[in-house]
Amino acid sequence: MNIAVKTENLSKLYGQTMAVDRLSLEVKNGEFFGFLGPNGAGKTTTIRLLTGIIRPDEGTAIIQENLPAGSIEAKLIAGVMPESRGLYEWMTAREYLSLFAHLYSVHNAIKATDEKLSIVGLSHEKNKRIGAFSRGMKQRLCLARALINKPKILFLDEPTLGLDPKGQEDIQILLKALNADGVTIFYSSHLLNEVAMLCSRIAVIHHGKLVAQGTISQLQEQTGLTNSGLKDIFLKLTGD
Amino acid sequence: MFKYILVNELRALLYTWKSMVWFLITSVIFSFASYLFLTDKELSLLDQSEMLWLLSKVIIGTALMIITVDASSTITGEFEKETAESLFLTPLSLKDFVLGKLLASLSLWIAIFLIAVPYIIVVSAGSHVTAAFIMFVLMLGTMLILGFQMMIFGISFLFRSSKNTLTTSLVILLALVLPATFSSTLKNNPLSHFLSVTNPIDNVFSSLDNVLVDYQTTLTGNLKYVFPVLIFCFAAFAFMLYSTKLFKRSGVVKND
C-alpha cells in the first residue's frame, strides 16, 4: 500500500471554464505533499474532487491504492479541512465535534472529542458557543474536525489562513507530528514559506493544469532557477 | 446515522428559539380562533360540527404555513451557511441526511398538533366524534404535512436557496389552498370539481367534514378522500427522489 492519492486525467468543467484539466498526479503514503497554484487555479476544485464533494467530468481519482474518491471507505480514512469552514455557530465546540465523531462512528466519541480539542488547544473553550469564537479558534476547531476520525490522509485547504504567527506555528508543529506518525498530508496553501518548510514534494497547478511537480530541488532544476526560493519558482511557473 | 441529524436539528430548533416562536404563534392563533367560536355572538350560533370543521382548517392551515416557512430553510440553510460540505465529507448518506431532516420537521407538526388537542377538546365538548376527529386530524394532517415537506425538500435540492424555495413553496401552497376555499356552488363547474377531487388540501377538509357531519369515522368510509392525499405524498416523494438524483449528479458544491 504505497499510493495514498492517485488521479488520472482528472477534469472538471464549470460552464465554459476548465477548472481542472486532465490532472494526473500521485501522492505516496506518508508524504507531506504541497499543492500550489494562484487564485482560481483549481486547487479547491481538485480537493473537492478528491474528497467526493463534486464529481469529475472525466478521469479518475483513487485514495489509498484502490478506493474511489468519495466512497464511504475513502471518507472513513480521510480527514478534510475544506475551504469553506461551515460551523454551527449555536453549538459549543464539544457538541459540534461530538456530532462529527458520531457521524464517523468513532468509538468512544466523547473521549475522542475531548482529545482532539486538547490537541488543537481548545480544551478550555470546549463549552463555549462557536459563535463567540475568534477566526483562529474556528480554524483550530475545523482542524480538530478533520482529525476526529484518526485519518490516514489529511486534505487541508489553507489550514493556517487567519491564524496569528503563534497559531500558525502551533498548527505547523501539529502537522509535522502527524506526518511523522505516518499520516499523509495533502496541503494546499498560499504561504510559500510554510509549504517550503513543511512539504517533501510539491505540485503546482495553473489554469487547472499541472505545470510542475517534485521536490524543491527538482523544481529548481525544471525551472532553471537553481539558487532561487519557492517564491521565484512559483512565479516563473505561473506567470502567463 | 439519521438519528444524529435528527437530534442536531431538534437541538437547533430549541437552541435558536425558533420552535418557541412557532409554538407561541400557534397558541395565539388557536386561542383566538377558539375564543371567537365560543364567545362571538354569530360564530357561537354555528353548529358544533361546523365549528370543529372550521377549527380543523385553522389548525391544518397554520401548521402548513409554519412547516412551509420552516422546511424551506431546513435543507437550504446547510448550503447557505456552508455546513453541507463538512457534513457530506463524513460517511453520512444523503438518505440519512434527508430522513433526519424530515423527521425533525415532522416533529414540529406533531408539537403543533399536541398544542391543538386541548382546543379541539374544548370546542368539541359534548360531541361523540371528538376522538375520531382528533385521530383524523392527526392522520390526514401528518400525511399532508409529510407530502409538503418532501415537495419542499425536493425544491430545496434544486434551488439551494431559501428565498427561492420559500417563494416557490408558498406559491404552490396558495395554489392548493385557494381552490379548497371555493364554495360548493363554485365546485359544480367541471374544472372546479376536478381541481377539488385532486387537491390534497380539499380532500383533507372533505374527509373531516365526512367525519363530523356524516359520522363516517372509519378509514374505509373516508378512502375516497384519503386516496388523493396518498397520491400527493407519492408524487412529492417521487419529485424529491428526482431532485436528490440531480443533486448527487451536480455535487454538494454547485460551483467554484
Neighbours of A42 (CB within 10 A): 29
Residues of B with CB under 8 A from a CB of A: 1, 4, 8, 11-12, 15-16, 81-93, 249-253, 255-256
DSSP chain A: --EEEEEEEEEEEETTEEEEEEEEEEEETT-EEEEE--TTSSHHHHHHHHTTSS--SEEEEEETTTEETTSHHHHHHEEEE-SS----TTSBHHHHHHHHHHHTT-TTHHHHHHHHHHHTT-GGGTTSBGGG--HHHHHHHHHHHHHTT--SEEEEESTTTT--HHHHHHHHHHHHHHHHTT-EEEEE-S-HHHHHHH-SEEEEEETTEEEEEE-HHHHHHHHT-TT--HHHHHHHHH--
Mean per-residue pLDDT of chain B: 90
Smallest CA–CA distance, residue A76 to chain B, in Å, is 7
pLDDT in tens, B181-219: 766 666 677 777 787 788 899 999 989 888 888 888 888
pLDDT at B256 over 50: no
In whole angstroms, give the CA distance from residue A11 to residue A49.
Answer: 9
Tell whether pTM > 0.95.
no
pLDDT in tens, B75-134: 999 999 999 999 999 999 999 999 999 999 999 999 999 999 999 999 888 888 889 999
The amino acid present at A10, given as its one-letter code, is L
Positive/negative CA dihedral, B96, B97, B102, B105: positive
Q: Does A188 touch chain B (CB under 8 A)?
A: no
CB contact under 8 A, B88 and A53: yes
Q: What is the pLDDT along chain A (240 residues), one digit of tens a residue?
A: 689 999 999 999 988 889 999 999 999 999 999 999 998 899 999 999 999 999 999 999 999 988 999 999 999 999 999 988 889 999 999 999 999 999 999 999 999 999 999 999 999 999 999 999 998 899 999 999 999 999 999 999 999 887 888 888 989 999 999 999 999 999 998 889 999 999 999 999 999 999 999 999 999 988 888 888 888 889 988 886
Neighbours of B68 (CB within 10 A): 21
Smallest CA–CA distance, residue A232 to chain B, in Å, is 28
- Smallest Cβ distance to A53: which of B1, B91, B253? B253
What's the pLDDT at A222? 87
CB pairs under 8 A between A and B: 75
ipTM of the modeled complex: 0.92
CB contact under 8 A, A100 and B86: yes
Contact between residue B35 and residue B187 where contact means Cβ atoms under 8 Å apart? no
CATH number of A3-77+151-238, picked from 2.40.50.180, 3.90.1150.10, 3.40.50.300, 3.40.50.620: 3.40.50.300
Smallest CA–CA distance, residue A98 to chain B, in Å, is 10
Where are the domain boundaries for CATH 3.40.50.300 in chain A? Answer: 3-77+151-238
Q: Which of B226, B42, B49, B59 is nearest to B143 (CA)?
A: B226
